[in-house]
Amino acid sequence: MELLNDNLYTASLIRDLRSVGADVNPEVMAETLELYRPFHRSGPGRVTRNARYGPDQRHVCNIFSPAEPDGQARPIIIFVHGGGFVRGDKEIVPERIYDNVGWWAVRNDFIGVTMNYRLAPEHKWPAGGDDVGSLIDWLAGNALPCGGKLDRLIVVGHSAGASHVATCLARLDRLGPAREKVAAAVLCSGLYDVEALSRVGRVPTAYFGTDKAEYAEMSSSHRLAALSIPLLVTINQFEPTLFQEQGESVAIRMHCASADFPVRYAFLSGHNHFSCVFNVNLPVHDLLGMHMAAFVNSVL
């Protein structure tokens, strides 16, 4: 089946996504994945798989770069996958998803990096955020296998991955000199205010634990407002209001706190919690890719 860039296909896809539903669970993810599985292919470039950035078996990443190494310094797009803090992988469909985000980066003249990180319940807060920081330090301190050079970093996280990116940003002072390389971040449908989650009984306790006295420290939302790093915050039409409210709250906090580094906020119409990322680098309905490209080019 060929994917055509036309309004008829987009309308059909949106109908399919609406019928899948707005829940966030493995069943909805699997149904959404089947809608996209046929369309993604390897991109025109090189990929180095399972480069090790730390001591744990989950400390590995894939690096996507142009086909011919030219030694040119390029911005790096790091993508941090979701999975409810307890599952997930940088390749949920080998050589397709989430490779599509890496190939999107290459197509836009960046270097793409997709990463794994340690999972709950064995590894609790702030392990995921610390792993994002470890990868940033590793990229800044090592020659890249693809022959590229680190210019600046844009960190993109989805769902639990967005929560980990937010934690890393909220604790950015713990990084070494590499923190100066972080130019911007994209937070896609993450959870940032653990105290607010506690008030409605929705805390992912496998990662954040059950001690309510610690939830304020674990919340990144109030610290993001103090950052001097531009943010793009996105939410989706077909997903639980919990994610929409958390994204809106971060965007409002940052908008009120800083005129110098305004936050951008995007509502991705016609997408569910998973499709926004699965759709990246396809010729139709790639709203997240479109917003990321405009945002990244505006801050570099």
pLDDT per residue as tens digits for the range 18-42: 999 999 999 999 999 999 988 888 8
Residue 280 has pLDDT above 90, yes or no: yes
Instruction: Compute the distance between CA of residue 25 and CA of residue 240 in angstroms, rounded to an integer.
Output: 11
pLDDT at 151: 74
3-class secondary-structure state, position 199: helix
Q: Compute the mean pLDDT over every residue in the chain, rounded to the nearest whole number.
A: 92
* DSSP 8-state code for residue 174: G
How many other C-beta atoms can be found within 10 angstroms of the C-beta atom of residue 70?
Answer: 10
Tell me the whole-structure pTM to 2 decimals.
Answer: 0.95
pLDDT of residue 3: 43
**pLDDT of 74:** 87
Going by C-beta distance under 8 Å and a sequence separation of 6 or more, which residues neighbour residue 120?
85, 86, 127, 204, 206, 207
Instruction: Annotate 158-174 with b (16+ C-beta within 10 A) or e (fewer).
Output: bbbbbbbbbbbbbbbee
Q: What angle do CA 36, 37, 42 make, to 5 degrees?
A: 105
Q: Which of the pair, 204 or 70, is modelled with greater confidence?
A: 204
The mean pLDDT value for 69-98 works out to 92
By CB neighbour count within 10 A (0-12 exposed, 13-18 middle, 19+ buried), where does 50 fall?
exposed
Percent of the chain, pLDDT > 90? 73
What 3-state class would DSSP assign to 91?
Answer: coil
Can you identify the CATH homologous superfamily of domain 7-299? Alpha/Beta hydrolase fold, catalytic domain (3.40.50.1820)
Query: Six-digit token pair at 277?
Result: 């990322």
What pLDDT score was predicted for residue 5?
Answer: 46
Higher pLDDT among residues 66 and 188, named by residue: 188
